[in-house]
Amino acid sequence: MQLAPVAGHIGAEVLGIDLTQDISEATATFLRQALDDRLVLFLRDQSLDLPTLKRATTVFGPLLRVPYVKPSPEDADVIAVLKEADEVRIGVFGGDWHSDFSFLEAPPGGSLLYGEDIPTYGGDTLWSNQILAYETLPDDLRSIVDGRGAIHTGGPYGRQNAPDATVATSRSIGISRGNSDADREVLHPAVRQHPTSGRRALFVNPIYTRRLEGMSESESRPILERLYAHATRPELTCRFRWTPGSLAIWDNRSTMHYAINDYDGQRRLLYRTTFAGERPV
Ligand code: SIN
């Protein structure tokens, strides 16, 4: 088992593991440690069906069913991330920088995404290291976020912050909109500590963070914009070129990610599972 970094500060390809075989405790420990170190792992040439994808997910935590996104008809623990070739000039699932579902009391610990049908070009995914984002914050921003909370809501799924009804999104992924329970505000620390590595990561979210604790939305906005610009600097990121049979595993506690929507006219299908996390501290 070996790790080959794919960028300076985040991401590594894992070599020498076939997830269709039994996953020994030594392999599971290697993968968990590698995820703590590199935050995103990539395994190529896997031949996973949904049960083996789910089994691999439980190496990292219990399976979690996320709200507001319809699961695949094949399996309630799996989301089919699909855009059909004829769906052009529309938004895609995950097409902005975000961590997943940060508006939940206990946001996911991470996710696995398995490439099934991949465009011949385009459709890459980016991840960004939020531990390094925190460590390299300018002093004035660090003094604002240290010890402060941030308020998150499930904006895109709710009523108050729902997207404009005229914004076209993929018909191939069932998103439930207009749920008033998604407008509920949840307070999380703007800097969180990782439960196993102990490292501190910036934890604000361009999609779900509404404002910083003790500030109005308009006071928060310019600060959040500076935080997001810093948190997504290219030096903090890696970019993955999908191939059929490749698997990405990411730590949702200390990364953000972005699905690049540049493959109109081609079909893209990936299967996604999620593992549970804890209330951020
Ligand atoms: C997501 O945000 O989970 C989707 C990522 C992708 O489609 O690349």
The domain that contains 8 carries what CATH number? 3.60.130.10
Q: What letters, b where the CB count within 10 A reaches 16 and e where it falls short, cover 130-158? A: bbbbbebbeeeeeebbeeebbbbbbbbbb
Residue 280, domain member (yes or no): no
For a pocket test of ligand 1, which of 42, 93, 273, 274 has the largest count of ligand atoms closer than 8 A to its C-beta?
Answer: 93
Residue 92, domain member (yes or no): yes
For a pocket test of ligand 1, which of 90, 240, 270 has the largest count of ligand atoms closer than 8 A to its C-beta?
Answer: 270
Residue 133, domain member (yes or no): yes
Task: Please determine, for residue 167, whether its predicted confidence score (pLDDT) is greater than 70.
Answer: no
Strands 149-152, 209-212: pairing is antiparallel
Range with lowest mean pLDDT among 131-140, 178-187, 270-279? 178-187
pLDDT of residue 168: 67
Residue 115, domain member (yes or no): yes
124 carries an active-site annotation:
no
**Cβ of residue 257 lying under 6 Å from some atom of ligand 1:** yes
How many whole angstroms separate alpha carbon 199 and alpha carbon 210?
Answer: 25
pLDDT of residue 163: 73
If one counts the domains in the chain, the total is 1
**Cβ of residue 259 lying under 6 Å from some atom of ligand 1:** yes
C-alpha dihedral, 230 to 235 to 238 to 239, nearest 10°: 90
194 carries an active-site annotation:
no
Residue 281, domain member (yes or no): no
- State in Å: Cα 205 to ligand 1 middle: 15
How many whole angstroms separate alpha carbon 37 and alpha carbon 125?
Answer: 19
Q: Whose CA is nearest to atom 6 of ligand 1?
A: 259
Atom of ligand 1 nearest to the CA of 272: 3
**Cβ of residue 125 lying under 6 Å from some atom of ligand 1:** yes
100 carries an active-site annotation:
yes
Q: Whose CA is nearest to atom 4 of ligand 1?
A: 94
Q: Whose CA is nearest to atom 5 of ligand 1?
A: 259
Q: Whose CA is nearest to atom 3 of ligand 1?
A: 94
- State in Å: Cα 93 to ligand 1 middle: 6
pLDDT of residue 171: 81
Residue 179, domain member (yes or no): yes
48-101 pLDDT, tens digit each: 999 999 999 999 999 999 999 999 999 999 999 999 999 999 888 899 999 999
Residue 245, domain member (yes or no): yes
pTM of the model: 0.96
* Chain CA centroid to CA 174, Å: 18
Say which of 38, 98, 188, 192 is annotated catalytic: 98
How many whole angstroms separate alpha carbon 166 and alpha carbon 275?
Answer: 33
Q: pLDDT category, 162, cuts 50, 70, 90?
A: confident
pLDDT of residue 274: 98
**Cβ of residue 280 lying under 6 Å from some atom of ligand 1:** no
Domain that holds residue 65: 2-275
3-class DSSP state of 152: strand
